[in-house]
Structure 1
Amino acid sequence: MDLLQLRYFQVVARYEHISRAAEELRVAQPSLSRSLARLEADLGSPLFDRQGRRIRLNQYGEMFLRHVDRALAELDDGRRAVREARDTGLGRVRVASETLLTVTPLLGSFRAAHPRADVRLFQSDAEDMDRRLRAGEVDFCVASQPLTGAGFASVELAREEVLLAVPYGHRLDGRESVTVRELADEPFVTTRPGHWQRALLDRLFAAEGLTPRLSCEGNEPAASQDMISAGLGIGLIPAVSRRAGTETRVPVAWVRVDAPGCHRVLTLVWNRDAYLSEAARKFREFTTSRPFMTHRLPDARRDRAPGSVLARGHLL
């Protein structure tokens, strides 16, 4: 049994698919299969149930994977600790977020306060963030959806209202608020399943026994406001976009949604069993020791005036 075999087993166990694991590991499938066979022979027990091309972890594989994950995580943490002790900087902090607009000012402020920290940012949906935390690929996630993996710790950073954005001249332009039922026949611009905007939209409509009509679904949340402004539909947009003054660039009208739970909860999530560099520990302290964003929402009609300057909500 060697370290390479254990890493191969870990990746295959994650995918339960030889070809996908071989692609990630950049090894030939026959070589990967032989490595697994030698590992199973060394252990004296099969780790997977094989049904044709499909494989599934069996009870022995699940048991062994828990120990392999802990052992490899300890080795990775040891390498990081030695590297950071050798270097003169604070080390690296790796952060994943669903939307970059949310964390850009945060990371900029942190870099200004700790210029020796090496900051890496990844854009991920909830499923990918969960995977990255489990695999030790990131230190923290700024999540807009619950991440409930075993061993995860979290702290709430902020709650903000989510508003309905509509094109100027739309029938709802000028309304103070609207119910979900009034939106039943409206086409929505939204994200694909897995992103928080889509999860919120589906949840609000499901509460009324409805299914939203979709005119566009994509992987780029930042493009939603542009498409709404162009008249392709309406959509749910976080209040931070409005406070940041984005309608000076992409003009839309804002309407409040009269429905419980039409808000976004931002949480900082980390794996409590994972090693954190000095930079990561300082990032957690920096992020949780002060208000993450302001919550005051400007008056809708006042902010509709051409050329008006929105009250900006800074993330730090």
Structure 2
Amino acid sequence: MDLQQLRYFQTVARYEHISRAAQELHVAQPSLSRTVARLEAEIGTPLFDRRGRRIRLNPYGTLFLRHVERALSELDDGRRAVREARGLGLGRVCLASETLLTVTPLLGGFRLAYPRADIRLFQANAEEMTRLLRAGEVDFCLASQPLPDTETESVELAREEVLLAVPPGHWLDGRESVTIREIADEPFVTTRRGHWQRTLLERLFASEGLTPLLSCEGNEPGASQDMISVGLGIGLIPAVSRQAGTETRVPVAWVHLDAPDCHRVLTLVWNRDAHLSDAAVRLREYATERPFMTHRLPEQHPSRPQEHV
């Protein structure tokens, strides 16, 4: 069993598709298939269920993958630690975020404070974040919803209200607040499942025994406000967008939702046992030692929303 076999197996397990994994690894499909077959022979059991050209990770493969990812992550950490010990700058820090708008001010300030740090940024939903952390491909995730992993630690960075954005001239334009039942028949612009906006929308409606009507589902949360502004529906938008002045570029009207827990909690998440470069340690300190956002949840009962200052 060698390192190449393990990396090939990890990639095939990620895609569950030989040709896609071969393209990622820049190797021929037959060579990749033989490498995986030799690994299975050495372990003594198949790691994939094969049906024609389709392959699926079986329970033995899932079990083995956890150990492979841990081992490869440790090796990568070792290489990074050696590079840092040789004094090559602060090292690299890799961060995954659900939306780029949220993380831009953080990374911009960090870049000014630590210009020698090598920063890598990924956009990912909650499921992808969990995989990136387990595989050691990122140091941190900036998450707006809990990540399903027991081997992580996290720190809360900020809480902010989530507002309802409606097109100019909409019947809610000018309203101070609205209940979920009042908007039960309104079409919503939202994200696909896996993003926090969709999770929050479905939770708020489920609390009233309702299901939201969707007019648009997308993978780019930052585009929601544009689609709302041209009348394709209404949607949930974090208060930071209002504070950032995006309504001057993409005009929408803002309404408070009279619903409990209509907010987003931003947390910084990392693997408990992973090695962190100097750059990663500095980023965690930078993110936690200063206010992450100026838009905070008001100190009040959720049924009596007020304007943010």
Normalising by structure 1, what TM-score? 0.88
Q: Give the aligned partner of residue 306 of structure 1.
A: none
Share of identical aligned residues, percent? Answer: 79
Equivalenced residue count is: 302
Write out the 4+ residue segments of structure 1 that deviate beyond 6 Å after TM superposition: none
Task: Identify the residue that residue 264 of structure 1 maps to in structure 2.
Answer: 264
- Asked if the contact 1:243/1:297 (under 8 Å) is kept, the reply is no
Match of 1:153 in 2: 153
- Checking the alignment, whether the CA contact within 8 Å between 1:162 and 1:262 is kept in structure 2 is yes
Letter in 2 for 1:232: L
The residue aligned with 2:205 is 205
Match of 1:92 in 2: 92
Cross-structure match for 1:35: 35
For structure 1, list consecutive stretches of 5 or more residues without a partner in the other structure.
304-309, 312-316
Partners of 1:239 and 1:297 within 8 A in 2: no
Structure 1 distance, partners of 2:57, 2:260, is 42
Q: Which residue of 2 aligns with 1:219?
A: 219
- How far the C-alpha of 1:87 sits from its partner, in A, is 4.2
Give me the whole-angstrom Cα distance separating, in 1, the residues matched to 2:232 and 2:271.
40
Give runs of aligned pairs for residues 1-316 of structure 1, distance below 5 A.
Answer: 1-58=1-58, 60-296=60-296
Once residues 49 and 174 of structure 2 are traced to their aligned partners in structure 1, the CA distance between those partners, rounded to angstroms, is: 61
Note the aligned Cα RMSD (angstroms).
Answer: 2.2
TM-score normalized by the length of structure 2: 0.89
Tell me which amino acid in the other structure corresponds to 1:112.
L
Gaps of 5+ in 2: 299-305
Measure, in 2, the Cα distance between the counterparts of 1:13 and 1:73: 16
The one-letter code sitting in structure 1 at the alignment partner of 2:280 is A
**Alpha-carbon distance in structure 2 between the residues aligned to 1:185 and 1:58:** 43
- The answer on whether the counterparts of 2:160 and 2:296 sit within 8 Å (CA) in structure 1 is no
Distance 1:62 1:229, change over 3 A: closer
Q: Kindly state the Cα deviation for residue 59 of structure 1 after the two structures are TM-superposed.
A: 5.1
Aligned partners of 2:59 and 2:129: how far apart in 1?
A: 26
Deviation at 1:293, TM superposition (A): 1.4
Q: 1:62 to 1:212 in 2, by over 3 A?
A: closer
Segment of structure 1 superposing worse, 167-176 or 24-33: 24-33
Any idea what the Cα deviations from partners look like across 1:110-134, whole Å, max 9, x if unmatched? Answer: 1121121111211111121111111
Partners of 1:296 and 1:76 lie apart in 2 by 38
Change (3 A) 1:278 1:175: same
Worse overlay, 192-201 or 17-26:
17-26
User: Whole-Å Cα distance in 2 between the matches of residues 254 and 243 of structure 1?
Assistant: 11
